[in-house]
Structure 1
Amino acid sequence: MSAFPADLTGTWTIDEGHSTVGFAVKHAVVATTRGKFTSYSGGATIDAASPESSSIWVEIDAASVDTGNEQRDGHLKSPDFWNAEENPKITFKSTSVKIAGDEVVTTGDLTIGGKTNAVDITWEFGGVAKDPWGNVKAGFEGTATINRSDWGITWNAALETGGFLISDKVKLVLEIEAGKQA
């Protein structure tokens, strides 16, 4: 895509019931552990004629983490990771948007645990459709890889066999269905 399709112009809101905001990280060097957040909001304002003036934003309730393990979720909420009690929100707000071949890259400020760094999220556009009730929906899949240590998240444990319990590298995965606002 050399530009956004014209029907993307407008303001879009994340459909939380049909989206996933999650992450994946290597555990014990040999396996991947995945997690998601169950409470978040966000959207985008898209200008198909001038994609660089488009913007996106996401606000995540840090305490809504769900990895399928209550003990691990509690540890992630603790000061060892993002200290959800003192920093209840994880946020992303784009600062630039550019077209890169078939993908859209949004650069923006990602704040975790009260610390902010620039991150590039690469998006694939899934298409636009009208649901049976006449609502216009669009699909987007975004990915980024970050180093958690850039946010001061350094808790870890050494393994007897070498390496560490948790990788510094974390893959962010955003599978978004958004509804077009009237």
Structure 2
Amino acid sequence: MATPLPTDLTAGTYVIDAAHSTASFQVRHAGIAKVRGTIAITSGAITVGDDLEASSVTAVLDPASVSTGDANRDNHLKSADFWDAATKPEWSFASTTVKVAGNEILVVGDLTINGVTRQVELPTEFTGTATDPFGNARAGFESELEISRADYGLTWNAALETGGFLVGDKVKIALDVSTIKQA
């Protein structure tokens, strides 16, 4: 069944505005604190169909752009212990289907991190449209999901004397995406 587009969203291709979009993450450290960081979304597009189910999403992220507020930690995350950003310089997402259940848009697709691809579901919220001061038609979207580091081969860790491990397995990811409609 086709789900009509929200009133102020029109069909077309919307390119991700990397300067105004964010991919952030958080993971437990030593089981007691959360480490937060960001990774740049470098490119991508949302193609809005005549109905929501006919839409698609692509995105590319740069793991070498990681920023957690600590240069030593950032360099460790970029290393072969974690993301091996020098030899695997790109993460990607490509949708396979878009589903609508009530007010929720569920974008299903393939997320590739560290050379490993897994299917994920992104519960997505359309946050609205605006025309910026330069005349660009913009549309915004948000999504949050949780992944397992182990599912992507990210298994580096250190045992703690008190039990458990230094880095948690579950990673929460939040996406805030601003797009510009192409003419």
- Mapping for residues 70-85 of structure 1, pairs under 5 Å: 70-85=71-86
Structure 2 equivalent of residue 111 of structure 1: 112
Instruction: Tell me by how many angstroms 1:11 deviates.
Output: 0.5
Structure 1 equivalent of residue 32 of structure 2: 30
In 1, the alpha carbon distance for the partners of 2:181 and 2:59 equals 16
In 2, the alpha carbon distance for the partners of 1:45 and 1:87 equals 27
In 2, the alpha carbon distance for the partners of 1:79 and 1:100 equals 40
1:16 corresponds to which letter in structure 2? A
Structure 1 equivalent of residue 59 of structure 2: 58
In 2, the alpha carbon distance for the partners of 1:32 and 1:101 equals 33
> TM-score if structure 1 supplies the norm length?
0.93
Structure 2 equivalent of residue 175 of structure 1: 176
Structure 2 equivalent of residue 92 of structure 1: 93
Is residue 2:13 matched to residue 1:11? yes
Structure 1 equivalent of residue 68 of structure 2: 67
> Alignment partner of 1:38: what SS?
strand
Is residue 2:36 matched to residue 1:21? no
Contact 1:38 1:66 in 2 (8 A): no
Instruction: Tell me by how many angstroms 1:4 deviates.
Output: 2.4
In 2, the alpha carbon distance for the partners of 1:31 and 1:178 equals 33
Instruction: Tell me by how many angstroms 1:162 deviates.
Output: 2.4
Could you give the per-residue CA deviations for residues 95-140 of structure 1, whole angstroms, max 9, x where no partner exists? 1111122221111111111111111111111111112222111111
In 1, the alpha carbon distance for the partners of 2:62 and 2:31 equals 28
1:156 corresponds to which letter in structure 2? N
Contact 1:110 1:116 in 2 (8 A): yes
Per the alignment, do residues 157 and 46 of structure 1 end up closer, same or farther by CA in structure 2, a change over 3 Å counting? same
> Alignment partner of 1:154: what SS?
coil
In 2, the alpha carbon distance for the partners of 1:39 and 1:102 equals 26
In 1, the alpha carbon distance for the partners of 2:118 and 2:168 equals 19
Per the alignment, do residues 10 and 39 of structure 1 end up closer, same or farther by CA in structure 2, a change over 3 Å counting? closer
> Alignment partner of 1:124: what SS?
strand
> Alignment partner of 1:75: what SS?
helix
Structure 1 equivalent of residue 135 of structure 2: 134
Contact 1:14 1:179 in 2 (8 A): yes
2:102 corresponds to which letter in structure 1? G
Unaligned runs of 5+ in 2: none
In 2, the alpha carbon distance for the partners of 1:100 and 1:35 equals 31
> TM-score if structure 2 supplies the norm length?
0.92
Unaligned runs of 5+ in 1: none
Contact 1:98 1:104 in 2 (8 A): yes
Contact 2:40 2:63 in 1 (8 A): no
